[in-house]
Chain A
């Protein structure tokens, strides 16, 4: 069931935007034609494989590749020696920055292996079997070192130190010794002590989450080729072809112009494909062998060597008056970063209290390196973790106050004109509208069966804009082609075509969208941060608008009228001059057919840096049922309400919301990295890393609240990330309701739930 709560739309006469057409790339994807990373093959292609560290933390004493090199069929072997050492330098690639030195060292370990699965060497051979045999023949001598994975253990004074050069940033004084704490960040306002002094009710809690993986079904894959003149080509599945181009150039010391990246279809990313693992290695192998090299990760590699998101410890203290007004909030966040600095604790801090209008608060975040894979972005990076703590505490506060949990959030909720906890002032947000829609939803007042519990939680994500390029070209027959630089991860070709069709006045089927390679379109930041429909959509819309201006000019030339006497209406030029009454509208096809007479081919390109992405808010309601003997928790009903600005293609907006909920439910109930005492992941496969299966979930109801974003031509806000923020706490709060006792540690797996029941 889906409801759309509409406010007056920006453009009430929309014909394409807001409808649900079949996506342009759909047929290829239901017939098996669509080519993903591993589906590509080139003549003469070699297969590359990586030698990975079996230890969580070890000094690499030596790597002997002689036996491997002697194996017939082996064409190239690369190690750290083939990758230049880079200076520590932050590089902004989209949602988050990467340190190029760390990135390079993550792609290929230098003096130390920092986690099990860390790449140490790579081989290219004429077959996968030979490449694997060669990998097994590489002899590495290790000096195994003590390791640390738990975030608080890594912060402890005598913890094994991963990086001798790492001194905590953000402290009042630079520490004297290196440690695993990369950074402390702090956001504060008002006077915390005074706020708590005013409080009549205080709740406190310590919460933990485990590392979880994005769990995209497509393992990382690429084919790379570098010719003797140093020109490289990459075909790869990722969230950004320009990201791959830049990173490969930096890591290999090449000119950006020497690399061309063609995006393959991407089989899921959720943030996890916003960095490189294989591509620089495959290029280096290709450079050495002179042949194209294909590399595909196994599922085990994906779990052990690509970024999950952080396991964390969250401490929350809230104070409120008896009538529910929050007087003070204190949040402390400790996030695992994995082997290199850069956990999403910054975003976790900024989003932690973003839903609340507060006078006094302090948020402290700790970024901590650990002997586990370097974390990568995962859908609203950092936000679900801090929201789990804050929203659990809010639920406890509502119970303590005997207040309805939505009413408590309404009372303290942000609205237009409020200065957000992370700095800016909110405008055109739809948070209160979303709370209202949730409160009025039949789910919220539906009776619960015995043994069931209901939880509510809210979530926030900034949504981002940034740099994008789009071109729109009109074909000779009056159709159009839209090209962008953003991989289509979940239907963006459809939304791009729809926005162009809307502006041009064409049916959507006449507009064909493509995702172009790095040599065929201008720079675009990667697909991530919920930015594509907003920022790239803005570029597409503006390009189409430029074409409309041009079409009016051309119609004017053909009619011998000034352009200001012409209006573009329903895909045709219409003459406004009453003296030319007989002049019939000139459709796009007619103008296109005569383009030679009016200046040649019709097309436009727009490159922009989009500002004003509207922040997104979600309100989720979750019902669970608990088997009190086995401890199994079933989600029996789920409703997600979200302010989406304007749904360009509502079905794919619903899909984003439903997918985010499913991932959040998995995070809450069963997903976790399990490490043994040697720092080895015990569950690097889909058998024991338990993502939700079809029978685990109910239908997921969505309510799209539309409070338009005036900065976007159609009012769109990013939608993909918000929906993963509330579910952790929504599930945990529902479990609290069913059990009568708070569980603080995710996942809420059956053994833990049963233990809590036994302790009642």
Chain B
């Protein structure tokens, strides 16, 4: 870390320029970057701090949906009452990242771009069908959040690109979501498995749309279409939950590591998908 340059641009264009050339890293909350730098896992020559760009911190409502600035810390996101009402699963996922202290810094876009397969917020925003707005030297593009991470620690972003904001779509009536993760303790751990479920019900409580995403069971978080399909048309009866459980397990391609065995992860993916679906269903019924 002997040679290091820090810049805090105040416009998007300056930030894009600062990212071009050399090995630069984007700094939002820093809760991953600083740990990786300290461990010597990354050795950037330049740090580009996005937090002084107007709009990068904050949540706003737009065309029925929500726009979350890339560097918005979890604690700020949790304070947005309308967002919490519309997307309780996304917010609870963000708020599971680390401690209260980490919540004061860690951002949604940072959690996404760190490209950890175990990132808590990612299954929730994938299930939410969120869009990442990416800016860079070649302009601006909008991509589904599931297209950002391509492998553990690797993203599809070009060197001079960064995520400007995350967009959550408008919410039909009787919609809600939930995120659950499994960890050995009650707090402070990296997810052994994570499951996000977003669904919409009709007036009779029948699921009309559902998205299920799983974390920490493959090199990147997975959108499991079969798992969503398994509960569409049901009132989340035991048979539907059984189908969901099986579809979630079938999609898993986990590794065994210090946090859990592959076998355990597969079983728990089914358990959490089921439980998250039940919570989302209850929330949607009450919405």
User: Residues of A with Cβ closer than 8 Å to B?
Assistant: 129, 133, 629-632, 634, 669-670, 674, 682-683, 686-688, 690, 692-693, 695-696, 749-751, 754-755, 758
Contact = CB atoms under 8 A, between A and B. Distances in A.
Contacts of A751: 260-261, 263-264
Interface string B172-213: 000000000010111111101000000000000000000000
A133 B2 CA distance: 8
Given A129-B2, A751-B261, A670 B184 contact: yes
B261 A695 contact: no
Contacts of A693: 185-188
A688 B185 CA distance: 10
Interface string B261-287: 101100110010000000000000000
A209 B72 CA distance: 43
A683 B258 contact: yes
Nearest to B184: A670
B264 A696 contact: no
27 contacts: A133-B2, A629-B268, A631-B264, A669-B184, A686-B188, A687-B188, A687-B190, A688-B190, A688-B259, A693-B187, A693-B188, A695-B186, A695-B187, A696-B186, A696-B187, A749-B184, A750-B182, A750-B192, A750-B260, A750-B264, A751-B260, A751-B261, A751-B264, A754-B264, A754-B268, A755-B263, A755-B264
B190 A682 contact: no
B1 interface: yes
Interface in B231-261: 257-261
Given A129-B1, A682-B258, A687-B189, A629 B184 contact: no
Contacts of A750: 182, 184, 192, 260, 264
B261 A690 contact: no
B271 A630 contact: yes
Interface in B139-160: none
A392 B8 CA distance: 59
A747 to B, nearest CB: 9
Given A630-B271, A751-B264, A690 B2 contact: no
Contacts of B1: 129
A755 B264 CA distance: 8
A101 B185 CA distance: 41
B186 A630 contact: no
Contacts of B192: 750
A630 B195 CA distance: 13
Contacts of B260: 750-751
Nearest to B265: A751
Nearest to B99: A693
A133 B185 CA distance: 37
B185 A696 contact: yes
Given A696-B185, A749-B184, A754 B190 contact: no
Nearest to A682: B258
Closest 5 CB pairs of A and B: A751-B264, A695-B186, A629-B271, A682-B258, A674-B258
Interface string B96-116: 000000000000000000000
Contacts of B185: 670, 690, 692-693, 695-696
Contacts of B271: 629-630
Contacts of A634: 186
B192 to A, nearest CB: 8
Contacts of A690: 184-185, 188-189
A138 B92 CA distance: 47
Contacts of B261: 751
Contacts of A630: 182, 268, 271
Contacts of A695: 185-187
Contacts of A749: 184
A693 B182 CA distance: 16
Contacts of B184: 632, 669-670, 690, 749-750
A369 to B, nearest CB: 25
Interface string B32-52: 000000000000000000000
A683 B257 CA distance: 11
B264 A688 contact: no
Given A674-B258, A750-B184, A754-B264, 6 more contacts: A630-B268, A693-B188, A695-B186, A696-B185, A751-B264, A755-B263
A295 to B, nearest CB: 18
Contacts of A687: 188-190
Nearest to B275: A629
Contacts of A682: 257-258
Contacts of B2: 129, 133
Nearest to A130: B2
Contacts of A632: 182, 184
A187 B176 CA distance: 65
A670 B184 CA distance: 7
Contacts of B264: 631, 750-751, 754-755
A175 to B, nearest CB: 36
A68 to B, nearest CB: 14
Contacts of A692: 185
Scoring B1, B184, B258, B264 by chain A CB atoms within 10 A of each residue's CB, the highest score goes to B184
Contacts of B190: 687-688
Contacts of A133: 2
B261 to A, nearest CB: 5
A474 to B, nearest CB: 47
A749 B258 CA distance: 11
Contacts of B259: 688
A27 to B, nearest CB: 25
